[in-house]
Structure 1
Amino acid sequence: MTDLPPGATPPEAQPRLNSFYFTAWRWHFYAGLYVVPFLLMLAVTGALMVWFTAIDSEYGDRIAIAPAAQALGVGAQIAAAEAAHPGSRADKYISPRDDRTPAIVRVEDGETARMLAVDPYSGAVVSDRPEAGTWNDWLTNLHGELLWGGNGGPGDTLVEIAASLAVMMLASGLYLAWPRQGKGWRAVLVPDLAARGRSFWKSLHVTTGVWVALFLAFFLLTGMSWTGVWGGRIVQPWSSFPAAKWDAVPLSDATHAAMNHTAQEEVPWVLELVQLPASGSQAGVQLLPPGTPVTFETVMAGARALGFDARVQVSAPADATGVWTLSRDSQSYDSPTPTSDRTVHLDQYTGKVLADVRFADYPLMGKMMAVGIALHEGQLGWWSVALNLLICAGLVLSCVAGVVLWWKRRPVAAGRLAAPPRGPQARLWTGGLVVAVLVGLAFPLGGAAILAVLALDALLLRHVPALKRVLS
């Protein structure tokens, strides 16, 4: 008997291995045709979004302010913002991050909402711009919805399909990269910079892909939490905070999602689908002394009494049954610590606490998403910003290397895609239905896309040889 080198495959197992290997390669290739343009878009827009939110805030809340001995009251700061736009009404106040940064006041000026950065010591407006239409707002819309149809619309659906198929592409890619035929892990984890031609691009594609893969899987799953089907209809509904836990509190018809004013999600994911409490009853726990006017000034004082420190957001009631809302969460860049997330609702007439939701109250999936989204968006400090940018760069490099590898592998002037060859006894349908079922169980739109490809092959490509050749 001939001794096999370490890691080599016995001859009797090679036909089966080759068949599965080539089938995985073909699925990896065909998925990549659709997924790679989306991954490049997501990586570039994601990196830019991290810049505009974590480094160069567009509303001016990181502008340097010279501290003075005494800050103006919250009411005076809001009056200064409203005076900049006569006839406007403030409906949100965001306290400064520290004693060297401005407060942010959101005002409704006719049909336009504006965000004003106000010097808390002098009342001077140091930045004034519309809330919508920022670069980050545009990038967020492109990143998640392709600027097409909003959440649940056509763009959102296309992105969700891409993310679903990307998970399958990652799994097949890791299988293809697994060391075999005597190769060790060094060839997988360390790029061969001395290689030339296709060998160099293959090494670069494999190594960057492997290093990025686990992070990318995490990013895909957390990003899909806002998609229309997997997120909005499956994961988010059964992961939301149960409003029934609020004892004897009247609920309104509006949900927390109504507090999101732009494409940027400000309300914690776990609360978006939860009904807001309603004002106008005697329910709740007394916070402000009876008879105290419920205003921005007194509500902010109540927030400090409840233990809110540093940056806290105070939102005014939206209507006659609305509530005052105090919030501090990492998703809105209020804090780099998701475990300190807290949302409190006050009755607008009595100032009583109707609901007080903390991180500890979230269900398990809600806790995981609170931390996951903060990491996804680079909200946990400079290290998470650097990690996000590094992952985005690695993803772009792996995608580009994969495209170059394909370009160099394809026959010159072949007039076809030059897909990976079929393995022994391999057919598109071999394992195709199994893959569709597995992906479909986890990600419905991804499974539907695979079934559509299989149907296209059965009903059209098999009967049009010229088209089948172009796509082979």
Structure 2
Amino acid sequence: MTASGRSAALYRTVWRWHFWAGLIVAPFLLVLATTGAIYLFNDELNDAVYPELRFVPPAARTVPVSRMIGAALTAHPGAVSRVDLPAAPDRPAVVFVAPAGGGEPLRVSVDPGSGRVLGSLVYARTLVAWAEELHGSLMIGTVGDRIVELAACWTLVLLVTGAILWCPRGRWRAAGVLWPRLTGTGRRFWRELHGPVGLWTGALIGFLILTGLPWAGVSGDLLQRGSAALGVGYPASFRTHAAPESLPMKTALGTAPWTLEAAPMPRSHAGHAGHEAPLPTDDAGAIAGVDRVTALLAAEGMTGGYRLFLPGDATGVYTAYTYPDRPEGQRTIYVDRYRFARIGPEVRFADYGWVGRATELGVQIHMGNYFGRANQLLMLVPCVGIWLLVVSGVAMWWKRRPRGRVGAPPPISGTRFAGLVAALAVAGAVLPLFGASLLVLGAADLLAGMWRGRVGDAAASGIG
């Protein structure tokens, strides 16, 4: 094969990969872009929809936290698992309550200055929660999580193949390559929109994918376990917390900073070891002890803007951690429920390994938190870019496809591109779920080729 023929064959092969990847992941990308754009402005949306639950008159002094919990439980009898103490004087405390009669968990807003209950909501029924759940798992649990992860992985294939297809061949003009040329019609209009939009948003889309994968069920778990084993994830001090008997922090609390999700939790020094996730507590002693814990935390300089989890059983601990928009301010403190003394050293962002620090930083930029409104708008750009790329890509396909057929670029027999195969092999090893999908597609392509060969042989011999 000549050099020009080989170049043309490579182009057609890349085009085929780009076509199928785009056609398959397009609906998932629209879902991810839409829900991601909603969640970028989660605080603004919640403030607009639930202002009576989100704002309070600033007060010079606050009531004890145990009183806030008591007020919430009086209004909504049940058990409490967590209290979020506000970072700003015009924000309420939020008490997480599991209703005594069953039903969905409540988030009860309490005025810290007066201890008055402002109201409650079921977070799962809010627009922001809907967007968050749809964004992470398509609202179908583990299966949805895996589908989202696969879509993210194949989006990386789209970006790489799209960049190859974008590269001008021969003579070219800046219009339609570097910026959209909107004077064309039909398929040409969509093609000359598609390329420049991909050029200017591709890097940001890639950033969103790479910073989102640590949350994925397979890739994220592998990254957490690997970084912990290599000592570049959660701090080494957690290895003294009786792992593997202790529960991982996310399992025990339901939420945790990414770096600490798999870190083993410490236990209070009394009772018997438990192996189930702690339940919300109605233990009067644990609730009353909150005031001693908050006093200890205040002495450590943690006076607000943190999440406080109550012990759910005899060996549970009080856990307080900050989760600010800038992860450099993350702090985690554990307090023994009987001795009211800190368990182990305080954990700060600087104590994380480099993978943990990089991931936490990427997470906050991904969510639009790190540098305020500018960060939100910057992350909105790739969301809009995805919408434009999907719409223009589907429009191009629809206008060129033969009637009644998919119109996929045909495979080119006999072509082998070692570099392309090697890149896919490396990507498949790093991203196991993506690698598994490659094996499935490879097997399907092989079977399809064998079937086409048999049909061709049968036609040539006049059979059938």
TM-score by structure 2 length? 0.84
- Listed as ranges, the matches of 1:26-425 within 5 Å are 26-53=16-43, 55-56=45-46, 63-86=54-77, 88-110=78-100, 111=102, 112-148=104-140, 150=141, 153-183=142-172, 187-232=176-221, 234-240=222-228, 241-242=233-234, 244-246=236-238, 253-261=246-254, 266-280=255-269, 295-329=289-323, 335-355=324-344, 356-380=346-370, 381-411=372-402, 413=403, 415-420=404-409
Q: Assess, with a 3 A threshold, how the Cα gap between structure 1 residues 185 and 306 changes in structure 2: closer, same or farther.
A: farther
Task: Render the CA deviation track for 1:39-90: whole Å, top value 9, x for unaligned.
Answer: 111111111222334542578697232224443232222222121123x233
For structure 1, which segment, 296-305 or 394-403, has the greater mean C-alpha deviation from structure 2 after superposition? 296-305
Counterpart contact for 1:102–1:118, Cα < 8 Å: yes
Counterpart contact for 1:97–1:310, Cα < 8 Å: yes
TM-score by structure 1 length? 0.83
- Residues of 2 paired with 1:398 and 1:42: CA distance? 13
Q: Assess, with a 3 A threshold, how the Cα gap between structure 1 residues 375 and 66 changes in structure 2: closer, same or farther.
A: same
CA RMSD, 1 decimal: 2.9
For structure 1, which segment, 222-231 or 54-63, has the greater mean C-alpha deviation from structure 2 after superposition? 54-63
- Residues of 1 paired with 2:334 and 2:143: CA distance? 35
Counterpart contact for 1:77–1:123, Cα < 8 Å: yes
Query: What amino acid sits opposite 2:149 in the alignment?
Result: E
Displacement of 1:390: 2.4
- Residues of 1 paired with 2:409 and 2:183: CA distance? 26
Task: Render the CA deviation track for 1:303-347: whole Å, top value 9, x for unaligned.
Answer: 222122441111111211111111101xxxxx2211111111111
- SS state at 1:94 partner: strand
Query: What amino acid sits opposite 2:207 in the alignment?
Result: F
- Residues of 1 paired with 2:430 and 2:53: CA distance? 41
Displacement of 1:136: 3.0
Counterpart contact for 1:59–1:116, Cα < 8 Å: no
Q: Assess, with a 3 A threshold, how the Cα gap between structure 1 residues 223 and 247 changes in structure 2: closer, same or farther.
A: closer
Query: What amino acid sits opposite 1:36 in the alignment?
Result: A
Displacement of 1:250: 5.1
- SS state at 1:117 partner: strand
- Residues of 2 paired with 1:158 and 1:449: CA distance? 11
Counterpart contact for 2:68–2:115, Cα < 8 Å: yes
- SS state at 2:407 partner: coil
Query: What amino acid sits opposite 1:145 in the alignment?
Result: S
Counterpart contact for 2:242–2:264, Cα < 8 Å: no
Q: Assess, with a 3 A threshold, how the Cα gap between structure 1 residues 84 and 60 changes in structure 2: closer, same or farther.
A: farther
- Residues of 1 paired with 2:455 and 2:330: CA distance? 55
Displacement of 1:267: 0.8
For structure 1, which segment, 341-350 or 120-129, has the greater mean C-alpha deviation from structure 2 after superposition? 120-129
- SS state at 1:317 partner: coil
- Residues of 1 paired with 2:322 and 2:414: CA distance? 55
Q: Assess, with a 3 A threshold, how the Cα gap between structure 1 residues 244 and 467 changes in structure 2: closer, same or farther.
A: farther
- Residues of 1 paired with 2:429 and 2:239: CA distance? 37
- Residues of 1 paired with 2:52 and 2:369: CA distance? 15
- Residues of 2 paired with 1:230 and 1:328: CA distance? 26
Query: What amino acid sits opposite 1:78 in the alignment?
Result: I
Counterpart contact for 1:208–1:398, Cα < 8 Å: yes
Q: Assess, with a 3 A threshold, how the Cα gap between structure 1 residues 63 and 384 changes in structure 2: closer, same or farther.
A: same
- SS state at 1:345 partner: strand
For structure 1, which segment, 400-409 or 438-447, has the greater mean C-alpha deviation from structure 2 after superposition? 438-447
Counterpart contact for 2:235–2:351, Cα < 8 Å: no
Instruction: Say yes or no: does 1:453 pair with 2:447.
Output: no
Q: Assess, with a 3 A threshold, how the Cα gap between structure 1 residues 467 and 70 changes in structure 2: closer, same or farther.
A: farther
Note the residue ranges of structure 2 that are not aligned, 5 or more in a row.
271-286, 457-464
Q: Assess, with a 3 A threshold, how the Cα gap between structure 1 residues 202 and 275 changes in structure 2: closer, same or farther.
A: same
Query: What amino acid sits opposite 1:348 in the alignment?
Result: R
Instruction: Say yes or no: does 1:24 pair with 2:14.
Output: yes
Say how many residue pairs are matched. 430
Task: Render the CA deviation track for 1:258-287: whole Å, top value 9, x for unaligned.
Answer: 2454xxxx3111111111011117xxxxxx
Task: Render the CA deviation track for 1:176-212: whole Å, top value 9, x for unaligned.
Answer: 1123313266643311122322222111111111222
Displacement of 1:438: 3.1
Task: Render the CA deviation track for 1:335-361: whole Å, top value 9, x for unaligned.
Answer: 221111111111111122114211101
Q: Assess, with a 3 A threshold, how the Cα gap between structure 1 residues 209 and 89 changes in structure 2: closer, same or farther.
A: same
- Residues of 1 paired with 2:227 and 2:199: CA distance? 31
Counterpart contact for 1:61–1:104, Cα < 8 Å: no
Counterpart contact for 1:61–1:96, Cα < 8 Å: no
Query: What amino acid sits opposite 1:383 in the alignment?
Result: A
- Residues of 2 paired with 1:127 and 1:467: CA distance? 69
Counterpart contact for 1:64–1:100, Cα < 8 Å: yes
- Residues of 1 paired with 2:129 and 2:326: CA distance? 23
**Which structure features the higher share of helix residues?**
2
